[in-house]
Structure 1
């Protein structure tokens, strides 16, 4: 069986551009399976969260509350077989209490990457890593700590 890698890559690109970007969170159902395993990859406590299109859309709306209308730029997109790697830069503003830091309104940048597994035209699983140290440093700097 030959996999259409371009198709998987285009599915992930469209998902990131439309949904993760905050433009149309309610379109999550077009790209996500009914249940998606979301592996939160970090050194101290790897966890897996089960996501549905509905709660993923809520998750993106939470970003909009926290960061306002943020910009979202895909900086890398590679595909092989059923997996697509994406790296992005999200730039918004500190509008709510985050990790114990009061809102400052100042710019916040998130650099993150994920590997998405696509099956039958839908994302069924992903592994995500976020530069949490860099994000924390920005919060500290804005707070004057």
Structure 2
């Protein structure tokens, strides 16, 4: 059964936020992510579904209770483009950086390719400099 691609993407972000809040396990994403998922990272590398779950666990540990606010969703064919903001408090270890208590807000966007009722590809992009400065890894 096929679902509306924009609804699927909204559900993806809702589940991601539930994982960060500790109200859902990382495997809850299996509801919307294909087993064959490929996430294309900005540096040209890619991760599979398990690799993406690991990234989600790292963010949930470092920023428990973080939330996404979907600003725009644009769908055409099998692709959905999302523009959103992400907000979290660095209250846990993240990439070896001890908690700073810093509240971080990032601009984020992504393109997802959908087949049926699953996301099969994802091209995320977010303001990693602001993130790294907020956790004390980068300085200007």
TM-score range, shorter chain: 0.7 to 0.9
Quick check: 1:36 aligned with 2:37?
A: yes
| Counterpart-to-counterpart distance in 2, 1:50 and 1:75 | 27
Provide the residue aligned with 2:28 in structure 1: 27
SS at match of 1:69: coil
Unaligned runs of 5+ in 1: none
Work out the number of aligned pairs and report it: 134
Q: Which has the larger radius of gyration?
A: 1
Root-mean-square deviation over aligned CA pairs: 2.7
Unaligned runs of 5+ in 2: none
Task: Tell me if the contact between 1:90 and 1:109 (Cα under 8 Å) persists in the aligned partners.
Answer: yes
Structure 2 CA distance for partners of 1:138 and 1:58, relative to 1, 3 Å: closer
Structure 2 CA distance for partners of 1:40 and 1:74, relative to 1, 3 Å: same
Pairwise mapping of residues 73-88 of structure 1 onto structure 2 (< 5 A)? 73-88=69-84
SS at match of 1:59: helix
Task: Give the alignment's TM-score, normalised by structure 2.
Answer: 0.79
Task: Give the alignment's TM-score, normalised by structure 1.
Answer: 0.77
Residue 39 of structure 1, CA deviation: 0.2
| Counterpart-to-counterpart distance in 1, 2:69 and 2:32 | 19
Quick check: 1:136 aligned with 2:132?
A: yes
Quick check: 1:13 aligned with 2:46?
A: no
Stretch moving more, 124-133 or 99-108:
99-108
Match of 1:120 among 112, 116, 130: 116
